[in-house]
Amino acid sequence: MSTLGSTSVVFDLDGTLVDSEPNYYEACRTTLAEHGVSGFTWEEHESYVGISTRETLGILRKKYGIQATVAVLLTELNTRYLTLARAGTPVYPQMRKFVERLHAAGVPMAVASGSSPEAIEAILSGTGLAAQLRAYVSADSVAHGKPAPDIFLEAARRMGAMPAHCTVVEDAIPGAVAAYAAGMHCIAVPYVISQAGDPAFATAGLLFRGGQAEFTAEAAYDWLARTAANDTSGTPYPLDG
């Protein structure tokens, strides 16, 4: 057992551990352009942050009347994304420090992402995070992606952890909703800063309203320690950050 008791931590990947959204935007924009859709903006892309790639493409296919199947679009987008991801995906420095500190403390960890398994593996191996984050769950492995709790519950199952003893680290509204639905604590680090006041983030035990610019490994770890020390009921509850 770690110094944080029975605590386990589940990380979202894109926008939380790594700044991969620009690569996803470019891959999506060029894929849509290939199918006659021009003018896909960053602002529109931001509205899909936190939703699985497959589900996002399903929405876009219907919205723009694209003839190709979601499977075809997904293959095309993933091919483009993987090329960009392997060329370079930055890890948020404080998130890397947080992962390293949790690993040193023996805290079980997993990644739960809406990306494909191939994309998750490429990012984790390419950034060196795979050394500490060996377990991951893709939305492709569960019936429903975020905001459903399926992916987080599956991550807990694979870690052998009780959901009430898990803390999710998330950047997006669907992920915060999914964490709450799973009965897990949540540390929220909004990728889209303007969304920090959304009610979904109010369910998080710890909210960094300024996003990654405000997040620190020390503050997150200290909050986890206080949560572990005070949580005798096994029920997620908020603590002031």
**Whether the Cβ atoms of residue 10 and residue 112 lie closer than 8 Å to each other:** yes
| Residue 192 per-residue DSSP state | S
167 - beta bridge partners?
9, 185
Rounded to whole angstroms, the Cα distance separating 211 from 171 reads 8
Show the tokens assigned to 78.
């993933």
Show the tokens assigned to 133.
């984050």
Instruction: Exactly one of 12, 14, 150, 231 is catalytic; name it.
Output: 12
Catalytic-residue membership of 12: yes
User: How is the beta sheet containing 206-207 ordered, strand by strand?
Assistant: 136-138, 109-113, 8-11, 166-170, 185-188, 206-207
Write out the catalytic residue numbers.
12
